[in-house]
Amino acid sequence: MKNLSILLIGDADRREFRQALAGLATLAQVTRTADVKAAVALLIEPRVVCGTAATAGLSSSAAFDIIVLAQAYPGEFAPAAVERLRQLAPLARMVALLGSWCEGEMRSGKPWPAAVRTYWHQWPARADLELRRLAAGRDSAWALPATATEEERLLADAGQPLPQRHGLIVIYARSFVVADWLSAACLRYGHATVWWHPRRRPQVRGAAAVVFDGWDCGEEVCRTLRQVAAAMAPAPLVALLDFPRIEDIERARDAGAAAVLSKPLHLQDLFWQLDRL
């Protein structure tokens, strides 16, 4: 098992990033720098002390397996600055950890090319899955060439073996199409499922977990989420929301969600959360 080393650049103390990165130190050795200028200085002279981490003992830029740029808003890191990092650490994988304000960057901004893009609310599941695979020398979507597209990374994920699970998953959804899609995924992983339509509560006991298909995290959704969580207790509830911000996730957790994922979602992230719970 390889001990991975990560160079983390940006304001990791922002509320959303602090929550996302909480468990990163258990997966890799992490060196933090506040900005690209400090990171460049570190890569040129590895024994410089930057940010919150002393890097004495790092012999060269090759010591970093992954460079994570925590981007709070579009344009925080200029493409030229990212390219400079690539030149200094050509073997390191470049991963963008994106904040809430970056949700529309693909439509209206200029995202840097050849980088893995992961939003802060996706990060805990994505990082845990991919970093463990990299450390173990197994196939990882993050190990694909820098020019790999998001579609190619999804195809690499789809090729991973499916460990069989068990237990009943209650799916709360307004739409049959969504319920059917989630049910098909759960069945493929070995779970049994039952659909809870808002007007027809199923008579079930002993559920392993609940998947709650929401939309925003307004008053109506929080009220319904609270009712479903209470009715299915002690089964943990995973809420699916549309592009949640940190405030949305906190409200959903206050209403009874054990975990929150964003839609559209990676199914592997959903099952990572279900396994964790």
Residue 27 backbone phi and psi in degrees, to 5? -105, -20
Would you state the pLDDT for residue 45? 75
Contact 238, 212 (CB under 8 A): yes
The answer to whether domain 5-158 and domain 168-276 are alike in fold is yes
Contact 241, 216 (CB under 8 A): yes
Query: Could you give the CA distance from residue 130 to residue 239 in angstroms, rounded to a whole number?
Result: 23
Would you state the pLDDT for residue 50? 46
Q: In the 8-state DSSP scheme, what is residue 117?
A: E
Query: Could you give the CA distance from residue 195 to residue 186 in angstroms, rounded to a whole number?
Result: 12
Would you state the pLDDT for residue 225? 95
Indicate the burial class of 139 (C-beta count within 10 angstroms; 0-12, 13-18, 19 or more). middle
Compute CA 51 distance to the chain's CA centroid, rounded to the nearest angstrom: 24
CATH class of 168-276: alpha beta
Predicted TM-score (pTM) of this structure? 0.83
Q: In the 8-state DSSP scheme, what is residue 144?
A: S
Q: What is the biggest distance separating any 2 CA atoms in the chain, rounded to whole angstroms?
A: 64
Mark 40-76 as b/e (b = at least 16 C-beta within 10 Å).
Answer: bebbeebeeebbeeebeebeebebbbbbbbbbbebeb
Cis peptide before 234 (omega within 30 of 0): yes
Domain boundaries, the chain: 5-158, 168-276
Mark 160-194 as b/e (b = at least 16 C-beta within 10 Å).
Answer: eeeeeeeebbbbbbeeeebbeebbebbeebebebe
Which three-class secondary structure state does DSSP give residue 67?
strand
Name beta bridge partners: 69: 9, 96
CATH for 5-158, among 3.40.50.2300, 3.40.50.12780, 3.40.1190.10, 3.40.50.300? 3.40.50.2300
pLDDT in tens, the chain (277 residues): 788 999 999 999 999 999 899 989 999 999 999 999 999 999 987 554 444 444 433 444 458 999 999 999 988 998 899 999 999 998 899 999 999 888 776 666 667 776 888 999 999 999 999 999 999 888 888 888 877 887 888 787 776 666 778 899 999 999 999 999 999 999 998 999 999 999 888 888 899 999 999 988 788 999 999 999 999 999 999 999 988 888 999 999 999 999 999 988 888 899 999 998 8
Question: How many other C-beta atoms are found inside a 10 Å radius of the C-beta of residue 214?
Answer: 26
Would you state the pLDDT for residue 10? 95
